[in-house]
Amino acid sequence: KSLITAVLAVGAAMIAAVATAQTPPEALTWMVLNEINSAWFDRTEPFNRPPLVTRVPDGVIRPVDVSHDGKPDWLIDHTDSGLMYCGTGGCLRTLYVSDGDDYVLAFDEQSHTFDLSRRGGETVIDVEVHHVFCGVAEGACGFAWAWDAGLKRLVERPNAAGQTLLTHDGGFPPVSEREG
């Protein structure tokens, strides 16, 4: 009987550990809920807004593994957030990568796609963005990066089509420099 109890206790602990590891950090949940709710803020028309969103829509914040340090990295994909963060340039996607003790903002841009794959022994992030970033009138415009733990940032890689940033006019930074 004690063996069954021990097995059940270990199983429950494993389930709790998996659930905890996959629960987004409260800070990200708060940030996304704030973005969703504040998008409708209009001081001149405070009553003309949808109900307050109290739960992040499924799939908006999800764990990914980019740093391979045993901690989840977090992708915020606004495709299904209900916000107007999607348009001709794609949808806003934000990636926080674990650097052991903290998280680094590694990607914060609009993109049509955001795909993770294993190539050359590393996880590569492939994105397609608006063609204006490639200096072409039509067609796909893709960029790729992999996480560099030493530099604590994404570094350029050839994209899924084998193109590098050098083939594009000026590249596409994964995090825009914004005035603070």
Per-residue model confidence as pLDDT tens digits over 80-134: 887 767 888 888 999 999 988 899 999 999 899 999 999 989 999 999 888 777 7
pLDDT at residue 137 in the model: 55
Minimum mean pLDDT among 25-29, 75-79, 80-84, 158-162: which range? 80-84
pLDDT at residue 18 in the model: 41
Whether residue 145 has pLDDT greater than 80: yes
Whether residue 61 has pLDDT greater than 90: yes
Closest by alpha carbon to 122, among 72, 164, 174, 65?
A: 65
Query: Could you please report the per-residue DSSP string of 5-39?
Result: HHHHHHHHHHHHHHHHHTSPPHHHHHHHHHHHHHT
Whether residue 73 has pLDDT greater than 50: yes
Neighbours of 94 (CB within 10 A): 22
2-39 pLDDT, tens per residue? Answer: 555 544 445 444 443 443 458 999 999 999 999 888 88
pLDDT at residue 19 in the model: 38
Maximum Cα–Cα distance across the chain: 71
pLDDT at residue 74 in the model: 97
Distances (CA, A) of 165 to 7, 105, 135, 168, 170: 52, 21, 12, 5, 7
